[in-house]
Amino acid sequence: MSRFLSSRFASLEAYTPGEQPQDMQYIKLNTNESPFPPSPEVIQAVTAAEVSKLNLYPDPECKSLRKKLAALYEVGEENVFLSNGSDDILNFAFMAFCDQSRPVAFPAISYGFYPVYANLHQIPFTAIPLREDFRLEPEDYCGIGKNIVIANPNAPTGRTISVAEIEKILCSNEDHVVLIDEAYIDFGGESCYRLIDRYENLLVCQTFSKSRSLAGGRLGFALGSKALIEDLNKIKYSTNPYNINRLTMIAAEAAVDSNDYYMANCRTIAENRAYTVEKLAELGFETIPSAANFIFTRHKAIKGNALYSSLKSKGILVRHWTKPDIENYIRVTIGSREQMDAFLEKIREILKEG
Ligand SMILES: Cc1ncc(COP(=O)(O)O)c(C=O)c1O
């Protein structure tokens, strides 16, 4: 830390992203990326002609892409907000809607960025414990008088809650923003975005990073009432109006046009998930039911950190946390069938080695 850092940030603990090794070739099952490349249409769309326009700023309103997304989700263009990854949107939402007098609540086991954003903006937060087997109890969020952030499916567990449960939370917190982070919704959960017409306090956040194979392009979007979207734009235009680059915008438009390709990939991931869970069960693993492109699993005989390290030494990267209530689990991204077979093979070796 330099002596110049503002005292506001002296004790801030930054988020630790999953490893992105640039040296050795790993089978990467650690950051929930898609194993599938972008669609052929996306690859064709990013042409030399588009690259040659990089001397010009991109459209800060992202009109053309917003129009396509609005058509896909059958919402108004004024209900769509786009930004540089959904992390950017979460950051803007914490900034826009929370403060000392408007605290926030989220599950105690969830996306690790939520407490980081709260601390960054000096927002008091409540981490609400999950119930047995990491189940989220909607009652715990009803009428709590705070803004609420819930990942659905939750990360790193993969568990979902229903639209009816979300609606219960929304009705009982009408004066607070309820942000549903649907980064993994396309892999099996039921999106609640249709409720944005009825609940002006609902903000739904999704990403192109997971189901749409565009993690490297950095693009997230939010769906919400016109008023909430205007608030997010106020923050965006007060920080970096050009936060989506031209090439990402072109790629994303082609991605929306090839929606069928991505939805078919999601079905393949769901099949590979079921396959992996079944094989792991045969090997003595207990896995939390998941609707996401990852699973949260543990083995009675091997500790989570030992599994993580042994897999890494064998060329497979998964994610592991040292927090006491989840330290015996590993989170494994669901990849292609070949990747999952390679993972299972290494697991068998590890179990044999004891
Ligand atoms: C629950 C959740 N929300 C949001 C994100 C951020 O995704 P991105 O910024 O790539 O859109 C992630 C990424 O892993 C996530 O797990």
The answer to pTM > 0.85 is yes
Question: Which residues, at least 6 apart from 261, have a Cβ–Cβ distance to it below 8 Å?
Answer: 39, 41
Model pLDDT, residue 204: 98
- 71 CA to middle of ligand 1, Å? 24
Answer whether 207 contacts ligand 1 (Cβ < 6 A). yes
Which parts of 121-222 fold into alpha helices (H)? Answer: 163-171
Answer whether 85 contacts ligand 1 (Cβ < 6 A). yes
> What is residue 188's three-state secondary structure?
coil
Q: Could you tell me which residues are beta bridge partners of residue 128?
A: 107
Q: Nearest to residue 68, comparing CAs of 86, 59, 80?
A: 80
- Mutate which of 83, 187, 210 for ligand 1 pocket (most atoms within 8 A of beta carbon): 210
Answer whether 209 contacts ligand 1 (Cβ < 6 A). yes
Answer whether 154 contacts ligand 1 (Cβ < 6 A). no
> What is residue 181's three-state secondary structure?
strand
Consecutive H or E run containing 235: helix 226-236
Answer whether 110 contacts ligand 1 (Cβ < 6 A). no
Answer whether 181 contacts ligand 1 (Cβ < 6 A). yes
Query: In this structure, what token pair is assigned to residue 225?
Result: 């009432």
Answer whether 33 contacts ligand 1 (Cβ < 6 A). no
Q: Which residues of 17-30 are buried (b: 16+ CB within 10 A; e: fewer)?
A: eeeeeeeeebbbbb
Ligand 1 atom showing the smallest separation from residue 151 Cα: 1
Ligand 1 atom showing the smallest separation from residue 86 Cα: 11
Q: Nearest to residue 330, comparing CAs of 319, 342, 345?
A: 319
Q: Whose CA is nearest to atom 2 of ligand 1?
A: 183
Answer whether 111 contacts ligand 1 (Cβ < 6 A). yes
pLDDT tens for the 354 residues of the chain, in order: 999 999 999 999 999 888 888 876 899 999 999 999 999 999 999 999 999 999 999 999 999 999 999 999 999 999 999 999 999 999 999 999 999 999 999 999 999 999 999 999 999 999 999 999 999 999 999 999 999 999 999 999 999 999 999 999 999 999 999 999 999 999 999 999 999 999 999 999 999 999 999 999 999 999 999 999 999 999 999 999 999 999 999 999 999 999 999 999 999 999 999 999 999 999 999 999 999 999 999 999 999 999 999 999 999 999 999 999 999 999 999 999 999 999 999 999 999 997
Task: Give every strand in the sheet of 330-333, ordered side by side.
Answer: 285-287, 294-299, 330-333
Q: Could you tell me which residues are beta bridge partners of residue 149?
A: 179
- 290 CA to middle of ligand 1, Å? 16
- 58 CA to middle of ligand 1, Å? 24
- 122 CA to middle of ligand 1, Å? 21
Helix axes 86-97, 226-236, angle to 10 degrees: 100
Answer whether 344 contacts ligand 1 (Cβ < 6 A). no
Model pLDDT, residue 24: 67
Ligand 1 atom showing the smallest separation from residue 208 Cα: 11
- 354 CA to middle of ligand 1, Å? 35
Cα separation, 128 vs 131, whole angstroms: 10
